[in-house]
Chain A
Amino acid sequence: MEKNGHTATYDEVQKLHPLYFNIVKKRYWWFAISLIIMIPGIISLFMQGLNLGIDFKGGTMLDVTFKKAVSQAAITDTMKSVGLEGPVQLSNGDTAALIRTVALEEGKRSELLTALETKVGEYDKTNIKEDKVGPAMGQELTRNAIYALIIAMGMMIIYITVRFQFVFAISGILALLHDVLVVVGIFSLFQWEIDSTFVAAILTIVGYSINDTVIIFDRIRENEAKMKRSDTYEDMVDKSIWQTMRRSINTVVTVLIALLSVFILGGESTRMFSLAMLIGVFTGAYSSIFIASQILLEVKDHMKKPREVARRSALKP
């Protein structure tokens, strides 16, 4: 008997964690916290939408490094002189200019660059960064992103239904939607500009968060099979969450370490991507522990009750 060991009891699991508290019993608190974070984001999404970059809207973005400090007005005036307009952002001691405007044809582009050279100042020709996206391409990106999200979620539902149960799949996907809404909501709230890498970030968050959730579900599946008559589903879920707690926290810490180093050291081009990922991975870990399993519990509860009522009523003579 000793050789095969025994399954840890609920009490043992509780004792093992110095910070133990009953997560499942407080589930309405977690739902409330999530709603408080999500609602402003959702309102903002409806009111002001997302700050879409040229990847979605189409346009040209020119990153020009001048040899001397320049002024914003000089650039805006020069743009006007060739019949263009758009926001200009200066950085790096006013030597680097980020110019956004409509999608430029090659002819118009060189007209603008020549005008900048003569009217504003010399720039480093080998250090130009340019992104031009036609309007059609932008629409395609948005459409593909939505398709990808729907198909990924559909395939996850199928996989989890096959390996677990349909209820698990639905709970997992609801937790996922929660994560996506939190990230998209925060980006809308702060009007941070999004580009095509944001789409990649969202889908990775989806992939990562479901991974986290499945680890806990896996433990629930295992413990559910070993449940005794006296055990309640609530306690079993709470035990499963705490049994996987160390893993949940340690994994999210390692992933956050990786992301933080990209965020801090990775440079401008991956900053928004890693920011979205940081928020998403954190939310994903939170929702895996505090939301997904509690939704599962709620759904299981609601499914059980009507059936019990039906059984009882059938017994009546």
Chain B
Amino acid sequence: MRQGNIIKLVALVLLVAAAVALSIKPLMDPVKGIPLGLDLRGGVHLVLQAEQDKDGTPITKDDIDKAKAIIANRVNDLGVSEPIVQADYDKKRIIIDLAGVTDPDKAVDILKTTAKLTFRDTQGNVVLKGDDLKDAKGGQGQQQGQFVVNLTFSSDGAKKFGDLTTKLIGQRLGVYLDDKLLTNPTVNTPILNGQAEITGYDTLEAAAEDAVLMRSGSLPVSMSIAEKRQVGASLGVDSLERSIQAGLYGLIFIFLFMLIFYHLPGVVANFSLIVYALIVLWVFWMFRVVLTLPGIAGFILSIGMAVDFNIIIYERVKEEIRAGKSLRAGVESGFSRAFVTVIDAHVTTLIAALTLYAFGTGSIKGFALTLGIGIIASLFTAITFTRFVLRLTVGISPKMKTTWFGVRRDA
């Protein structure tokens, strides 16, 4: 029994150490690891508010859906990993999170434009609309260093475009994005196959950017920026480093504190704390919880609260031992009594986290989520892991000194 316990404990320590070592890489992986919020790696958060036009036509759920689809389309073309586009139908808003976008200014430009593509004749009449367009792509032009947008029309559009170019031969055809003239080419020959190109771009990026706007079409409602939060990439990295440092130092000092005040159970508590942190981080990873700055603060705070569990239990165990119980009986009854206390106390904190989650927006939601996960994970760790390790420890020897548990018994 005694040796068995020691072997089990040693195996457990090795197992946890291995788990920590194996976790660092997958959790910190920039692509597949825990996703970082834009305040930790730079990026932009936008809330677009749909606004009623002058006629006062109400904005329907369908409008928001369409706008969301178009914006999602544009976002995907920006090449951001894990972009978030959400619709809030009640408040008629679209929320966009682009973490890690390299040029936030340009991203905002692209997302906001209404972008309606039209073809106009020399008098300025609209002769063809972007609706007939099937695809638009940026590409290399015929000459070196020249870039173009290649247009592909739908079968209907191809026919219209064919008629149009036949009629307007020798004249100029204006290509407009909203009211901005993109190019004003002269029609040389009728284009009947539905393939055309707009020339005159200096860079491939510029061509690609316009192509995105052309193919994703126009927003059904006009949108204004109700909220915008932009963080430069280097600022984000700086914040991340600072928070990790804060977390590490916090953890080290809590470890020391527990060792000094609780001796042997303090070691168990610190060991449980490592397991706790590991569980929380893997839960973040599994559910793709986006880690933000307030989120990290919530996590560090929850470490402080997770220790509370151990403190409540140990204080209770001490009392039971003082009351005359044996070490093992004290641990058992102390645990079950402390459990009632802990449940009541933590349900109330969980209530606060839940209301924060329900009513909070953006970063507050992130904070509430990490806090909530932290509370549940600390309950789980205490019931399963801490209890198990504590039982193994006191089971090593019936003659174990109670002073190791910080109890002085004058018998």
Interface residues of A (CB under 8 A from B): 2-8, 16, 63, 105-106, 110, 124, 126-134, 136-137, 140-141, 144-145, 147-148, 151-152, 155-156, 159-160, 163, 196-197, 199-200, 203-204, 206-208, 210-212, 214-215, 218-219, 243-244, 246-247, 250-251, 253-262, 264-267, 269-270, 273-274, 277
Partner among B49, B304, B350, B352 whose Cβ is within 8 Å of the Cβ of A255 = B304
Q: Please tell me if the beta carbons of A141 and B361 are within 8 angstroms of each other in the complex.
A: yes
- Given A129-B231, A134-B224, A163-B344, 5 more A-B residue pairs with CB atoms under 8 Å apart are A3-B329, A126-B232, A141-B361, A257-B304, A267-B243
Q: Which residues of A contact B253 (CB under 8 A)?
A: 257, 261
Q: Which residues of A contact B301 (CB under 8 A)?
A: 204, 255, 258-259, 262, 277
Measured CB to CB, the nearest residue on chain B to A197 is B294
Q: Please tell me if the beta carbons of A265 and B249 are within 8 angstroms of each other in the complex.
A: yes
CB within 8 Å for A214 and B358 given contacts A130-B229, A255-B305, A265-B246: no
Query: How long is the Cα–Cα vector from A206 to B249 in the complex, in angstroms?
Result: 26
Interface residues of B in 292-310 (CB under 8 A from A): 293-294, 297-298, 300-301, 303-305, 307-308
Query: How long is the Cα–Cα vector from A7 to B249 in the complex, in angstroms?
Result: 40
> Main SS of the interface on chain B?
helix
Partner among A2, A141, A159 whose Cβ is within 8 Å of the Cβ of B351 = A159
Q: Please tell me if the beta carbons of B228 and A200 are within 8 angstroms of each other in the complex.
A: no
Q: Which residues of A contact B341 (CB under 8 A)?
A: 214-215, 218-219
Closest Cβ of chain B to A257, distance in Å, is: 5
Q: Please tell me if the beta carbons of A200 and B360 are within 8 angstroms of each other in the complex.
A: yes
Q: Which residues of A contact B320 (CB under 8 A)?
A: 5
Partner among A130, A159, A256, A258 whose Cβ is within 8 Å of the Cβ of B230 = A130
Interface residues of B in 254-280 (CB under 8 A from A): 254, 257-258, 261
Tell me if B122 is interfacial: C-beta within 8 Å of chain A. Answer: no
Q: Which residues of B contact A215 (CB under 8 A)?
A: 312, 341, 345
Interface residues of B in 88-127 (CB under 8 A from A): 105, 108-109, 112
For the complex of A and B, list the 6 residue pairs with the smallest distance between their C-beta atoms, beginning with the closest.
A207-B352, A5-B323, A258-B304, A261-B250, A255-B304, A148-B359
Of the A-B pairs whose beta carbons lie under 8 Å apart in the complex, a sample of 18, sorted by A's number, is A3-B325, A3-B326, A5-B324, A129-B230, A132-B225, A156-B352, A196-B364, A200-B294, A206-B352, A207-B352, A210-B348, A218-B341, A219-B341, A251-B305, A253-B257, A254-B304, A261-B253, A265-B249
Closest Cβ of chain A to B205, distance in Å, is: 16
Query: How long is the Cα–Cα vector from A258 to B232 in the complex, in angstroms?
Result: 27
Q: Please tell me if the beta carbons of B294 and A214 are within 8 angstroms of each other in the complex.
A: no
Partner among B49, B303, B358 whose Cβ is within 8 Å of the Cβ of A136 = B49
Closest Cβ of chain B to A21, distance in Å, is: 20
Interface residues of B (CB under 8 A from A): 39, 42, 47, 49, 105, 108-109, 112, 224-235, 238-239, 242-243, 245-247, 249-250, 253-254, 257-258, 261, 293-294, 297-298, 300-301, 303-305, 307-308, 311-312, 315, 319-320, 322-326, 329, 340-341, 344-353, 355-356, 358-364, 367-368, 371
Closest Cβ of chain B to A256, distance in Å, is: 8
Measured CB to CB, the nearest residue on chain A to B250 is A261
CB within 8 Å for A257 and B311 given contacts A204-B352, A215-B345, A262-B300: no
Q: Which residues of A contact B351 (CB under 8 A)?
A: 152, 155-156, 159, 207
Q: Which residues of B contact A203 (CB under 8 A)?
A: 352, 355-356
Closest Cβ of chain A to B372, distance in Å, is: 10
Q: Which residues of B contact A261 (CB under 8 A)?
A: 246-247, 249-250, 253, 300
Closest Cβ of chain B to A134, distance in Å, is: 4
Q: Please tell me if the beta carbons of A267 and B325 are within 8 angstroms of each other in the complex.
A: no
Query: How long is the Cα–Cα vector from A312 to B356 in the complex, in angstroms?
Result: 50
Query: How long is the Cα–Cα vector from A243 to B329 in the complex, in angstroms?
Result: 20
Q: Which residues of A contact B348 (CB under 8 A)?
A: 156, 159-160, 207, 210-211, 214
Q: Please tell me if the beta carbons of B235 and A127 are within 8 angstroms of each other in the complex.
A: yes
Q: Which residues of B contact A265 (CB under 8 A)?
A: 242, 245-246, 249
Measured CB to CB, the nearest residue on chain B to A147 is B359
Query: How long is the Cα–Cα vector from A2 to B330 in the complex, in angstroms?
Result: 13
Q: Please tell me if the beta carbons of A148 and B324 are within 8 angstroms of each other in the complex.
A: no
Query: How long is the Cα–Cα vector from A16 to B360 in the complex, in angstroms?
Result: 45
Most B-side CB within 10 Å, residue of A136, A147, A208, A277? A208
Q: Which residues of A contact B345 (CB under 8 A)?
A: 211-212, 214-215, 218
Query: How long is the Cα–Cα vector from A246 to B348 in the complex, in angstroms?
Result: 21
Partner among A124, A134, A152, A207 whose Cβ is within 8 Å of the Cβ of B49 = A134
Query: How long is the Cα–Cα vector from A224 to B315 in the complex, in angstroms?
Result: 20
Measured CB to CB, the nearest residue on chain B to A160 is B348
Measured CB to CB, the nearest residue on chain B to A2 is B324
Query: How long is the Cα–Cα vector from A4 to B321 in the complex, in angstroms?
Result: 10
Query: How long is the Cα–Cα vector from A73 to B172 in the complex, in angstroms?
Result: 52
Q: Which residues of B contact A210 (CB under 8 A)?
A: 348-349, 352
Query: How long is the Cα–Cα vector from A203 to B42 in the complex, in angstroms?
Result: 27
Query: How long is the Cα–Cα vector from A203 to B368 in the complex, in angstroms?
Result: 10
Q: Please tell me if the beta carbons of B315 and A246 are within 8 angstroms of each other in the complex.
A: yes
Measured CB to CB, the nearest residue on chain A to B232 is A127
CB within 8 Å for A106 and B227 given contacts A163-B344, A208-B349, A247-B311: no
Q: Please tell me if the beta carbons of A269 and B39 are within 8 angstroms of each other in the complex.
A: yes
Q: Which residues of B contact A270 (CB under 8 A)?
A: 243, 293-294, 297
Q: Which residues of A contact B323 (CB under 8 A)?
A: 5-8
Q: Please tell me if the beta carbons of A197 and B311 are within 8 angstroms of each other in the complex.
A: no
Q: Which residues of A contact B231 (CB under 8 A)?
A: 129
Query: How long is the Cα–Cα vector from A156 to B105 in the complex, in angstroms?
Result: 45
Measured CB to CB, the nearest residue on chain A to B318 is A246
Q: Please tell me if the beta carbons of B308 and A251 are within 8 angstroms of each other in the complex.
A: yes
